[in-house]
Structure 1
Amino acid sequence: MLRFGPDTGPVVVVALPLFEEANRTRAFAVSILRALAERGIAGALPDLPGQGESLLPTHETDLAKLRTGFAAAVASLDTPAFALAIRSGALLDIEAQVTARTHLSPMTGADLRRELVRARQASAREAGEPFDPASLETATAPVGLAGNLISPALLAQLSDATPSTEQTRTVRLATEAKPADAKLPGSPLWRRAEPDNDPAFAVAVADDIAQWIATCAA
């Protein structure tokens, strides 16, 4: 777990999105936490089971393990915590004992599953290989989707997984049509082919989180 900022006071714990989007947004998340540290707010970026440097293979994780891992990371800090969940990371902070949540461009599990299936269909067409999405319903072995081996259990769990709405502030890009508590100018880094960053967007997100923390503490 990476730590930023002071050793005392509230800490913002980041839940990265699942699968490849975690790689694309990690530098961005670090930029947000560094910007928060400059504002005197601590931050933490844990690697959850099946993510990053975790020893658990991706195909052996599921929502229960990921949620338990995030909750354990928050509890280990032993200080008031706030969650920052990016995209499908909003599915992972449900069990954590946090004061409040910021969800950045959150998505449902069904949305994520559809994106994974579309990516698999596109790669199958390019390779001239057959792929029937219905096969996912009966799969018993890990399935290759969007460059990752994913367990059938996790795929099934995604179908009806939704983000928490408890003490949650939703922030989206200015270009997104879905409703939000705030919309900020920035780049959809999770859509990039390679990991990238948007420092100005990171500062805007950090400013919004700092204001949200001040509001919750008032």
Structure 2
Amino acid sequence: MLRFGPAEGPVVVAALPLFEEANRTRAFAVTILRALAERGIVGLLPDLPGQGESLLPTHETDLAKLRAGFAAAAASLGVPVFTFAIRSGALLDGDAQIAGRYHLSPMTGADLRRELVRARQASSREAGEAFDPAAIDTATEPVELAGNLIAPAFLAELSAAAPSTEAVRTVRLETEAKPADAKLPGSPLWRRAEPDNDLAFASAVAGDIAAWIATCAG
């Protein structure tokens, strides 16, 4: 778990998106946490079960393990914390004891599953391979989607998974049509082919998080 900021102060625990989007947005999330540290806010970025440096293989994780890992990270400092989740990371903070949730471009589990299936369909077409999405529902072994081996039970869980709506501030890109509490200019880094960063966007998000925390504390 990476830790940023002062020894004491408001605490933000970050949840990266699931699967490949975590790699694409990690530098962006770290930039935001460093910017929060400059504002006197403690930041934590845990590697959850099946993510990052975790020793658990991706195909052995599921929503329950990920949520329990995030809740444990949030409880590790023994003080009320705020969460900051990007995209499908918003599916992971529902079991944590928190003071407030900040969701950046959150998505449902069903949306994530559709994107994973579309990515697999596209790669199968390019490789000239056959792929039947319906086979996912009857699979008994891990399924490879977008370069990740995922347990069929995890994929089934995603169909009904949704972000928590309690004590949440939802922020989206200006280009997104879905409703939000605020919209910011920036780049959808999670859609890029390679990991990247957007310093101006990260600064705007950090500023919004800091202002939101100040409002919650008040």
TM-score (norm 1): 0.99
Task: Indicate the residue corresponding to 1:105 in structure 2.
Answer: 105
1:33 aligns with 2:33: yes
For residue 7 of structure 1, report the CA deviation from its aligned partner: 1.3
For residue 94 of structure 1, report the CA deviation from its aligned partner: 0.2
Q: Aligned partners of 2:77 and 2:196: how far apart in 1?
A: 29
Q: Aligned partners of 2:148 and 2:198: how far apart in 1?
A: 26
Tell me, what secondary structure is at the counterpart of 1:7? coil
Q: Aligned partners of 1:79 and 1:103: how far apart in 2?
A: 20
For residue 9 of structure 1, report the CA deviation from its aligned partner: 1.7
For residue 202 of structure 1, report the CA deviation from its aligned partner: 0.5
Tell me, what secondary structure is at the counterpart of 1:99? strand
Q: Aligned partners of 1:91 and 1:141: how far apart in 2?
A: 24
Task: Indicate the residue corresponding to 1:14 in structure 2.
Answer: 14
Q: Aligned partners of 2:188 and 2:9: how far apart in 1?
A: 31
Deviation track 1:139-158 (CA, whole Å, cap 9, x = no partner) reads 01000000000000110000
Q: 1:1-218 to 2 correspondence within 5 Å?
A: 1-218=1-218
Tell me, what secondary structure is at the counterpart of 1:101? strand
Q: Aligned partners of 2:61 and 2:10: how far apart in 1?
A: 29
Q: Aligned partners of 1:198 and 1:79: how far apart in 2?
A: 31
User: Percent of pairs identical after alignment?
Assistant: 82
Instruction: Calculate the aligned-residue CA RMSD, in Å.
Output: 0.5
For residue 40 of structure 1, report the CA deviation from its aligned partner: 0.7
For residue 135 of structure 1, report the CA deviation from its aligned partner: 0.1
Tell me, what secondary structure is at the counterpart of 1:77? coil
Deviation track 1:133-179 (CA, whole Å, cap 9, x = no partner) reads 00000001000000000000110000000000000000000111100
Q: Aligned partners of 2:80 and 2:41: how far apart in 1?
A: 11
Query: 1:184 is matched by which residue type in structure 2?
Result: L
Query: 1:57 is matched by which residue type in structure 2?
Result: P
Q: Aligned partners of 2:169 and 2:196: how far apart in 1?
A: 25
TM-score (norm 2): 0.99
Q: Aligned partners of 1:174 and 1:64: how far apart in 2?
A: 32
Query: 2:160 is matched by which residue type in structure 1?
Result: D
Native 8 Å contact 1:31 1:202 kept in 2 = yes
For residue 78 of structure 1, report the CA deviation from its aligned partner: 1.2
For residue 44 of structure 1, report the CA deviation from its aligned partner: 0.4
